[in-house]
Amino acid sequence: PDFFGNRSSKTFKPKKNIPEGSHQYELLKHAEATLGSGNLRMAVMLPEGEDLNEWVAVNTVDFFNQINMLYGTITDFCTEESCPVMSAGPKYEYHWADGTNIKKPIKCSAPKYIDYLMTWVQDQLDDETLFPSKIGVPFKRNFMSVAKTILKRLFRVYAHIYHQHFDSVMQLQEEAHLNTSFKHFIFFVQEFNLIDRKELVPLQELIEKLTTKDR
């Protein structure tokens, strides 16, 4: 579904496409179809006979694209002035390090942090050795730990949007879209234990609210 009408072209970073006709594309279509059924717990489960790495890879790309669009709608409100630090409420502040270019965590504004973060994720997704798009190319041994780091970091963008920009999200009438996306994300990471509980604390109340209705 096109949630954005004519604004759908505004993404923060270019959309990461999964090649049509590939097995991963089929998996993505399967994911979209099961999501349509409304039962998220079922929708996130590993489809029968599928490879867990591939399922996680396809969904990680999808979450990147969703967050990309969601953040793209509020970039005008997330500025050096409004968000001089990358925070999720008054108690949580994130400092950026990627282990290669920036080894020591740096304190920076939210827009800068999210730019670093999304660029870093994009580089991982574009790395054919990490996210192979060709059939039969095996996933690296460390794939799952890389995927976990990507998802942990993508969570921080949701946390920042919810804590600092929810008013703007409501003004734009995007809250249903944001909630649906985040709920899907949470059910997915819970299903496969992909994010440490302590990392999820900034949105703990919301997570409880979104996930208890569907037990």
Q: Per the annotation, does 83 bind a ligand?
A: yes
* Phi, psi for residue 93 in degrees, rounded to 5: -130, 135
Q: Per the annotation, does 165 bind a ligand?
A: yes
In contact, 30 and 46? CB cutoff 8 Å: no
189 vs 56: CA distance, rounded Å:
9
Q: Per the annotation, does 78 bind a ligand?
A: yes
16 vs 19: CA distance, rounded Å:
10
Q: Which residues contact 89 (CB under 8 A, 6 or more apart)?
A: 159, 163, 202
The amino acid sitting at 189 is V
Q: Which residues pair with 94 in a beta bridge?
A: 86
In contact, 194 and 56? CB cutoff 8 Å: yes
Read off the tokens for 192: 């496969």
Q: Per the annotation, does 95 bind a ligand?
A: no
The annotated binding site for Zn(2+) is made up of 78, 83, 160, 165
The annotated binding site is made up of 78, 83, 160, 165
